Amino acid sequence: MSAVETRPARSAGDSALFDFPCDLCGSNDAAEIPEARHYTGGHPLHVCRGCGFVYVRRRRSAGAIAASWSDDLFGTKYTARIPAIIARLTFVAEMVRKEIGFEGRSVCDIGAGEGTFLDLARGMGADGFGVEPSAANGKLMAGLGIEHFTGTIEDYAGTGATRRFDVATILWTLENCQSCLGMLKAARALLKPDGHVVVATGSRILVPFKKPLHYYLGPNAPDTHAFRFSANALTRALAVAGFEVAHVNRYIDHDVLCMIAAPARAPSAAPLPADSSAAVLDFFRRWHADTVAHYADA
């Protein structure tokens, strides 16, 4: 989707903000989720009235968002080296190993972080390559002997690189970029004709609450978590980007939503999945009420 620049507002990174329509259906008709401001330092979060996708409307450039992760969040507020993160990455690695296999396959991890997942995949027989904006994380990957590119996926695509991979992984990263469809289409361009993309996220919309709302939304710059996926929204995003889902985990009783998809061989005539915006708004209302009622630190 193209963005329309608004008046030059400023945020973390001192970058201009842009107003975006719904990334999945293109609609400009969105409702604010009023409870979100309670947790985000007053920043709004919206749900598309057309397809029910939850997103941040005002975002900085892709480079500015990547810089926030590289300079402000990694190593201070976030690391993939804590047990909980290793556990969820191990879950995804085991799912990929079971469903499509790692042995002898090349893997490109988009938003590779400190190389934790690629190190796991290597232990299962994969040949790993990371795309990661943080130079500090690049040094960590180098220390693990993992080949990598320092920059965003947009930067990597701009190099004209022709290397193609069996698997592209986007793990807890699709929600953290400026354009989720742009990232998925970049992943598709990296794949061999019979390749697969693996997307995993912790967004849990329209399923039983897995965590209190103040652990799900937070006061960081809002566009560092610009998208929140339900199963329908992620399926739709993959379809719009030219994929068809081959495998999905049992997310109803798990904190992880993981989908493995292959490039679609032909456009599908089936209607794209969508959520009810009214149901999403009610879900957040109830989630907020339960958080306030049951968590002392909310």
In terms of Cα–Cα distance, which of 125, 121, 133, 231 is closest to 173?
133
Residue identified by tokens 């990597």 is 156
Is the Cβ–Cβ distance between 191 and 164 less than 8 Å? yes
How many distinct structural domains can be found in the chain? 1
| Residue ranges making up the domain that contains 210 | 4-266+275-294
Q: What are phi and psi of 252, to 5 degrees?
A: -60, -30
**pLDDT of residue 6 exceeding 50:** no
How far is Cα 30 from Cα 33, in angstroms, rounded to an integer?
Answer: 9
Query: Residue 45's CB: how many other CB atoms inside 10 A?
Result: 23
pLDDT at residue 2, as a whole number: 37
Show Cβ contacts of residue 174 under 8 Å, excluding neighbours closer than 6 positions: 180, 183, 184, 199, 201, 227, 229, 234, 237
How far is Cα 66 from Cα 132, in angstroms, rounded to an integer?
Answer: 9
SS3 label, residue 259: strand
pLDDT band of 66, cuts 50, 70, 90: confident
What digits encode the pLDDT tens for the residues 95-154? Answer: 999 999 999 999 999 999 999 999 999 999 999 999 999 999 999 999 999 999 999 998
Q: How far apart are the first and last CA of the chain?
A: 36
pLDDT band of 91, cuts 50, 70, 90: very high
C-alpha dist (Å) from residue 244 to 90, 129, 190, 251: 24, 24, 16, 18
Residue identified by tokens 């993981």 is 258
Q: What percent of the chain has pLDDT over 70?
A: 94
> What is the pLDDT averaged over residues 79-94?
92
> What is the pLDDT averaged over residues 36-53?
96
**pLDDT of residue 5 exceeding 70:** no
* Model pTM score: 0.92
**pLDDT of residue 210 exceeding 70:** yes
How far is Cα 180 from Cα 64, in angstroms, rounded to an integer?
Answer: 15
Cα 178-69-102 angle, rounded to 5 deg:
85
SS3 label, residue 262: strand
Tokens of 98: 């079971």
Is the Cβ–Cβ distance between 56 and 46 less than 8 Å? yes
pLDDT at residue 8, as a whole number: 30
The CATH number for 37's domain is 3.40.50.150
In terms of Cα–Cα distance, which of 236, 187, 247, 254 is closest to 48?
236
